Amino acid sequence: MTRDSTALDRRLRSIVIVGGGTAGWMAAAALARAPGRGACDITLVESDAIGTVGVGEATIPSLVGFHDLLGIDEADFVRATQATYKLAIEFRDWRAVGDRFLHPFGFYGVGIDQSIFQAYWLDARRRDRGSPLEEWSVSGLAARLGRFGPTQLPRHAALSQLSYAYHFDASLYARYLRTYAESRGVTRVEGEIVDVARTEGGLIDSVRLADGRVIRGDFYIDCTGFRSLLLGESLKTGFIDWSHWLPCDRAVAVQCERTAELSPYTRSTAREAGWQWRIPLQHRIGNGYVYCSGDLADDEAQRALHASLEGAAIGNSRVLRFKAGRRNRAWVGNCVALGLAAGFLEPLESTSIHFIQTGLGRFFAHFPDRDMDPAIVDEYNRLTALEYERVRDFLVLHYSASSRTDTEFWRRCRSMALPETLAYKQAVFERTGRIVTFEEETFLPPSWLAIFAGHRVWPDRHEPILELVATPDIEQRLAAMRSSIRVAVDSLPAYESFLMRCSTPDLRAG
């Protein structure tokens, strides 16, 4: 047998995805689309009797690229999932009650290096000559003015900076991807798993269903949510607890009727013991209160959430229990976990679905054969750990930088000892005005600037780079840039009218 034929013989012949929901069907769709999967059979096992969390309805722009890779028609997706477009997250009452600020997607300015723009903007603010940060972001200004429309992009160069994501019905999204995956050869098996068998070498050998059927594969993807049936329960992979930095451990969620005009952003409102989300879909509003159970009882959280709804509640509220953190390793032997089975960070910046997507991307980049080379597994786990830690730090900053002292919850957040990486990043910014970028960052400097500025965390000095790159007409050039952003955004149609075009059958965004 030749070397090539030997290598070919070691390829994975079958992959079993355990669990459906968003994670399972994203994995199935991505594997089904892989052009070289050849004779590798893809099977997804799920039980209709086991519910899914189903509240992860807000995303970040990376999902647009995922859909492009799958060849998904955006207008079709928007209609099928009752989706809306998202340009930013609005934060209310986070720095102080009555304050609000935006974290927009994309970059600030047009045709300018981000570090140079940041230095100029911070210096202008220091000299009381600044303007609101969101006015320098195409996505931020469009969010604030209620404008949107990708079809207008060729008209103004500034609109090339328009960056967006989606809100959608998570259950409809899983159903949409299921149709996609099954039409491309993925086999769905209905049944509840009652046992997981291991080989003598410690790998997963098979899963047995309640009716006695046995499902075997060369490789397994754990998409069983918080239970983490394969990675946590069977492979006994430990959990790293970050609740001392992210103390919220409950969420109560409920849907309500939509009564207000649609807005192209997610809203996060700080509350006495946590924060509340508002996610506008075409047919309803998603609402949830994320809180610390040590500061607020479940029934009190439910009453507070229902009292704040803008319309009549749809169905009953659900209480979700969780713990912030991640598994020691996301990949063990012949099993990798995605989504909640790998770890959980509260949805403050809408990263839950992003973690699924990046986990899949790393899996493809480190795709194994049946030898399961430990070097490949170790590198996957190293990068996954870094990604979770970077997002953790970004979320912690939202709490620790707050000026609120009105409740014990917020006083603890202000006084907590920070992760070393976050403490270093904040110290560098406060001393120099520079934002440090580490390996595997999900949120780039413009996002960090939005949160620093929103909480009014300012550097002690301006950056010396200003003296190096300054030109006599720099202020006029920046003013012209800001004006061009406003003209470009004003050219966009009103958000809700554009969305209604996208969601109407037989119409396309173009």
pLDDT at 254: 96
Half-sphere exposure of 37 (CA within 13 A, CB side): 17
Lowest mean pLDDT among 87-101, 141-155, 180-194, 380-394: 141-155
Asked if 86 is an active-site residue, the reply is: yes
Q: What's the whole-number mean pLDDT along residues 381-394?
A: 98
- Residue with the larger pLDDT of the pair 334 and 506: 334
Query: Long-range pairs for 374-378 at CB < 8 Å and ≥24 separation?
Result: 377/329, 377/331, 377/332, 377/333
3-state secondary structure of 433: coil
3-state secondary structure of 342: coil
Q: Compute the mean pLDDT over every residue in the chain, rounded to the nearest whole number.
A: 92
- What does the alpha-carbon distance between residue 126 and residue 168 come to, in Å, rounded to a whole number? 40
pLDDT at residue 3 tops 80: no
Phi-psi region of 86 (alpha: psi -120 to 50; beta: other; left: phi over 0): beta
Report pTM. Answer: 0.94
3-state secondary structure of 102: strand
Per the residue annotation, which of 86, 236, 323, 425 is the catalytic one? 86
Other C-beta atoms within 10 Å of 504: how many? Answer: 11
pLDDT at 38: 66
pLDDT at 150: 72
Going along the chain from its start, the domains and CATH numbers come out as 10-82+168-241+327-390 (3.50.50.60), 104-144+392-492 (no CATH), 250-321 (no CATH)
pLDDT at 510: 36
3-state secondary structure of 67: helix
| pLDDT 10s digits, 207-244 | 999 999 999 999 999 999 999 999 999 999 999 999 99
- What does the alpha-carbon distance between residue 123 and residue 131 come to, in Å, rounded to a whole number? 11
pLDDT at residue 57 tops 90: no
* Cβ atoms of residues 138 and 156 within 8 Å: no
Residues β-bridged to residue 256: 285, 313
- What does the alpha-carbon distance between residue 73 and residue 75 come to, in Å, rounded to a whole number? 6
pLDDT at residue 387 tops 50: yes
